[in-house]
Amino acid sequence: MNDSTSYSFSFSYDLSPKRAGGTPPADLMAFDICREYPLPENQVLLRSSHSHRQTIVTSDVLYSLRQCLEFKTLEEHSRHLQNVIPELAGQDQDIGNVLNSVSQAGLMLSAAAKARELRPVVRDDAAEASGACYCILSCDRPEAVKRLLASMQQSHDFNGRNRYWLVDDSRDADKQQANRQLCDIFQNEYDLPLEYFGMHEQREALEQMKQDLPEHRQGLDFLLGRQPDESIPSYGRSRNWSLLLGAGGRLVLLDDDILYQRARPPQALADVMLTSAVRSADFFSSDDAWRSLLDADRPDPCSGAFTQALGRRLPEALALFTREVLPTEALRHLSPRDYHHFNNDSRVKITACGSLGDPGTSGNQWLLQLDAESRKRLFVSESHYRQHLQHPNLWSGRKGAAFLNTFTLISQATGLDASELLPPYFPIQRNEDLLFGEMLRYLYPHALQLDLPWALPHLPLERRDWTHEQLTRPSPIGMLSFAARMLTQHQEQDLAKQAGVRMRSLASLFHGLADASDKDLVEAIAQASLQRYSLQIGHLNDILAESPDAPDYWRQDIQTYLVNLQQALFGLLPEGFALMAGAPQAQRDTARRLWEDFARGLDAWSSAMEWAENRL
C-alpha cells in the first residue's frame, strides 16, 4: 500500500463463497462482532456472528476494523480511520477497497439490508378489544394516588375492557385505609371497579396459592410475602403481584407520583429508529418552563402504540408508525452487538416513555455520560450545571419512537406483554428493574423495548436532592447489578429456545450463585468491579475527546471522576455489595441466602403465573 509506513492494511483471503456486487455508496455499514481465532504469521481468522461467514485478515486490518463499530458510510469510515490511525492518512482508495472486500466477504453489517428485511406489515388485529390491566403501584402515598387518579380522569377513557388495580405496599395502617377509600370513591363515581389489592388481599391470595402449590411455598413467600424488616425497600414485590394480576394479557404499571398527561419533546420530533443509544435530555430552570410541553389535547399516554405494540412482531409494530421501509439513517445509532436481535420474529415485550421533572434515578453520575447534544444543554452555564447536579429538573426521553434490545426501565409508566411467561422481579433491594430487564432478555434474547416520544411528569411528594460528591465517587457494585452481570455472561452459552427451559436455567444460575465459595465470590466481585471501573474510564475518556470545547468546570468534574476511578482500580477492591448492612462477610452471606430464596422463587414462578391467570 503506502511504502513509507510499516502499517500493513491489506485484505487477505476469504474462506466462504463470494457474493455478487458491492455495497451501495449511500448505505451505512458497521463491522460485525466476530469470533477471533489467531493464526501464525500475524494473521487472524474471523467468523461473523451474523452471516456466519469467515475470513482471514492481518492483525493490522483487524485493528482497523475494530474502529468501524458504528454505522457510517464508506466515506465516513475512511475519514475516521485516517483520524485515529495517522499511518492511513491519504489512503482513501485503499481503505475503500479493503472495506468493500470485507463487506463482500460477509463481515460488514448493512443498515439498508436490515431495513429491507424489516419492511412494515399492517396487522388487522381484533386483540385490541381485549383491553389491558392497569396497576397503580403505591406505598404510603395516598395524596399521590389521589392526584394521579384526578389526572387520569382528564386523559384516560375508563372502560369495561380494562381492569384496574391499586397495588398497595403501604406500611402505615392509616395510609392503607386512605388508599382503600380512594378506590371506593372511584368506583362510586365511575361505576367501574378500581380494585384495592393491599396487605389483606395479598395475604389471602398468597395463602391460597401456597395451598394449591405446596411444593413452592418457600419460593412464593420470598417473591410475594412481606419481609420481616419492613425498612428494606420492596419495590419488586408490588411489581410481582402486578405481573400475576395481569397474567395472560397486556399489563401497564403506573407509579403513583406521576401526572397522567403526555409532554412533548423539547426538540423537534424525529422519525422512528432502531437504536442502542441512550435517551437524550434537556434541562429547565423552573417548572413553568417544562409545563409548556404538556399536550393541551390531553391524549392518553398509555393508548395507541403504548399498549397496541405489546406482543407484536417488529414489522407489525413498525407499521404503527410508518408503512414505508425505514431509511438507513434510522439505524445509525444501532450497535453491531444488537443488530441480529432485530429480525422479523422479534417481539415488543416492553413499552416505556420518558420522564419530565424528576428523572427517578438514585444518583447523578449518568449526567456526565449523556450524549453530546444533551451535554451541551446541561453545561450551558456553570450555575445551570450546578443546579441540575443537585436538584434535577429535566426532560429525559426520545425525540422519536425508538426500538431497543436493551431494557432501560427507568420509566414511571411501563407496558409489559404478559401474554407469555415473564420473569419475576427481585422483591427487595434496589436495581430490581435492571435485573428484571436482563432476565427478560435472557428468556427472550430477541425481545425489544419500544420507547415512545413523550414523557410523563414525575413529581415526587418529597424533595430529592443529589450531592456533588456523588457525581465523582466510584460506586461499589450492588448485589442485583452483580447478578445481572452474571446473567449477561451466561446468556450466549444457553442454546435453549423455549422460555420455560431458559427459566429453569435462570433458576439454576441463582442456585449456583448461592452455592459459591467465599473465595470464588470475592474474586467474582473484584472482577465485576474492575470491569465496571475500566469501562467507565474508557467511556469518560471518549467523552472528553468528543468535547474539546466543553467548559473547564465540567471537564474538571470528569477529570476528578477519572482520577477516583483510576485510584479505585489499584486500591482495595470491594469484597461485598453496596447498600447492604454489615461487614463484607455478612454482605456475602446475606447475598447467598437471598439468591437461594430467589432461585426457589424462579422454580415456582411459571406455576404461579399459570395459577394467577386462572384464579386472580
What pLDDT is recorded for position 4?
Answer: 36
Share of the chain above pLDDT 70, in %: 94
Judged by DSSP in three states, 142 sits in helix
82 in any annotated domain: yes
CATH of residue 102's domain is 3.90.930
Query: In the predicted model, what is the mean pLDDT of residues 342-346?
Result: 97
CA–CA dist 532, 511 (Å, integer)? 24
Q: Following CA atoms 396, 425, 163, 134 in sequence, which dihedral angle do they give, to the nearest 10 degrees?
A: -10
- In this structure, the answer to whether residues 304 and 438 fall within a common structural domain is yes
21 in any annotated domain: yes
Residue 482 near residue 568, CB atoms below 8 Å: no
- In this structure, the answer to whether residues 450 and 347 fall within a common structural domain is yes
CA–CA dist 244, 606 (Å, integer)? 11
Sign of CA dihedral 213, 218, 219, 220: positive
Query: In the predicted model, what is the mean pLDDT of residues 300-326?
Result: 96
Residue 537 has pLDDT above 80, yes or no: yes
342 in any annotated domain: yes
What pLDDT is recorded for position 407?
Answer: 84
Kindly report the pTM of this predicted structure: 0.93
What pLDDT is recorded for position 218?
Answer: 97
Query: In the predicted model, what is the mean pLDDT of residues 539-559?
Result: 94
Which of 537, 551, 555, 520 has the alpha carbon at shortest distance from 381?
A: 551
What pLDDT is recorded for position 14?
Answer: 45
Share of the chain above pLDDT 90, in %: 77
Looking at 325-476, which runs of residues are DSSP E strands? 348-357, 394-397, 402-404, 413-417, 448-458
Q: Range of 446's domain?
A: 273-462
- In this structure, the answer to whether residues 200 and 237 fall within a common structural domain is yes
What pLDDT is recorded for position 228?
Answer: 77
Exposure of 583 by Cβ count < 10 A (0-12 exposed, 13-18 middle, 19+ buried)? exposed
Output the nine-digit C-alpha cell for 342. 432485530
Query: In the predicted model, what is the mean pLDDT of residues 232-253?
Result: 94
What pLDDT is recorded for position 130?
Answer: 78
Of the pLDDT bands very low, low, confident and very high (cuts 50, 70, 90), residue 21 is very low
Inter-helix orientation angle 518-546/479-491, to 10°: 90
Report residue 137: phi and psi, to 5°: -100, 125
Cα angle 599-600-603, degrees, rounded to a multiple of 5:
90
- In this structure, the answer to whether residues 148 and 111 fall within a common structural domain is no
Region for residue 148 given its phi and psi (left: phi exceeds 0; alpha: psi -120 to 50; beta: otherwise):
alpha
DSSP state of 126: G
What pLDDT is recorded for position 1?
Answer: 38
CA–CA dist 318, 316 (Å, integer)? 5
372 in any annotated domain: yes
Residue 15 has pLDDT above 50, yes or no: no
- Which residue type, as a one-letter code, is found at position 593? R
Query: In the predicted model, what is the mean pLDDT of residues 342-362?
Result: 93
Of the pLDDT bands very low, low, confident and very high (cuts 50, 70, 90), residue 10 is low
Of the pLDDT bands very low, low, confident and very high (cuts 50, 70, 90), residue 287 is confident
- In this structure, the answer to whether residues 91 and 167 fall within a common structural domain is no
309 in any annotated domain: yes
Number of neighbouring beta carbons within 10 Å of residue 216: 21
- In this structure, the answer to whether residues 111 and 144 fall within a common structural domain is no
CA–CA dist 578, 581 (Å, integer)? 9
What pLDDT is recorded for position 337?
Answer: 95
Domain-terminating residue out of 440, 462, 484:
462
Beta strand pairing status for 194-197 and 163-168? parallel
441 in any annotated domain: yes
348 in any annotated domain: yes
Name every residue whose Cβ is closer than 8 Å to that of residue 54 and which is 6 or more positions away in sequence. 14, 15, 16, 45, 46, 47, 48
Query: In the predicted model, what is the mean pLDDT of residues 558-586?
Result: 94
- Which residue type, as a one-letter code, is found at position 144? A
- In this structure, the answer to whether residues 373 and 396 fall within a common structural domain is yes
Encode 477-490: b = buried (16+ Cβ within 10 Å), e = exposed.
bbbbbbbbbbbeee
- Which residue type, as a one-letter code, is found at position 316? E
pLDDT digits (tens, 9 = 90+) for 498-519: 999 999 999 999 999 999 999 9
- In this structure, the answer to whether residues 176 and 278 fall within a common structural domain is no
Output the nine-digit C-alpha cell for 163. 381492569
19 vs 437, residue with greater confidence: 437
CA–CA dist 481, 529 (Å, integer)? 11
DSSP state of 581: S
End-to-end CA distance of the chain: 71
Residue 392 has pLDDT above 70, yes or no: yes
Report residue 591: phi and psi, to 5°: -60, -45
5 in any annotated domain: no
What pLDDT is recorded for position 5?
Answer: 37
Domain-terminating residue out of 255, 287, 311:
255
DSSP state of 278: P
pLDDT digits (tens, 9 = 90+) for 49-99: 999 999 999 999 999 999 999 999 999 999 999 999 999 999 988 898 889
Q: If you count DSSP H runs as helices and E runs as strands, how many of each does the chain have, helices first?
A: 22, 17
Domain-terminating residue out of 204, 225, 255:
255
What pLDDT is recorded for position 18?
Answer: 46
Residue 323 has pLDDT above 90, yes or no: yes
**Long-range contacts for 467-470 (Cβ within 8 Å, ≥24 apart)?**
467/390, 468/386, 468/389, 468/390, 470/363, 470/364, 470/365
Which of 406, 365, 376 has the alpha carbon at shortest distance from 280?
A: 376
What pLDDT is recorded for position 360?
Answer: 85
Output the nine-digit C-alpha cell for 56. 482471514
Q: 260 vs 145, 375, 386, 454, 576, CA distance in Å? A: 11, 28, 30, 12, 40
256 vs 368, residue with greater confidence: 256
Query: In the predicted model, what is the mean pLDDT of residues 531-558?
Result: 94
Q: Which of 4-8, 24-28, 441-445, 463-467 has the highest mean pLDDT?
A: 441-445
What pLDDT is recorded for position 6?
Answer: 44
What pLDDT is recorded for position 19?
Answer: 46
Residue 111 has pLDDT above 90, yes or no: yes
How many domains does the chain contain in total? 3
- In this structure, the answer to whether residues 111 and 165 fall within a common structural domain is no
Residue 456 near residue 402, CB atoms below 8 Å: no
Report residue 111: phi and psi, to 5°: -65, -40
Which of 113, 117, 116 has the alpha carbon at shortest distance from 30?
A: 113
- In this structure, the answer to whether residues 411 and 290 fall within a common structural domain is yes
Residue 159 has pLDDT above 90, yes or no: no
CA–CA dist 581, 354 (Å, integer)? 33
- Which residue type, as a one-letter code, is found at position 574? P
Residue 394: strand pairing partners: 283, 357
- In this structure, the answer to whether residues 156 and 105 fall within a common structural domain is no
Which of 397, 423, 407 has the alpha carbon at shortest distance from 236?
A: 423
pLDDT digits (tens, 9 = 90+) for 193-242: 899 999 999 999 999 999 999 999 999 999 999 887 777 778 899 999 99
Looking at 430-517, which runs of residues are DSSP E strands? 448-458
- In this structure, the answer to whether residues 196 and 321 fall within a common structural domain is no
Residue 530 has pLDDT above 70, yes or no: yes
Of the pLDDT bands very low, low, confident and very high (cuts 50, 70, 90), residue 408 is low
Exposure of 118 by Cβ count < 10 A (0-12 exposed, 13-18 middle, 19+ buried)? buried
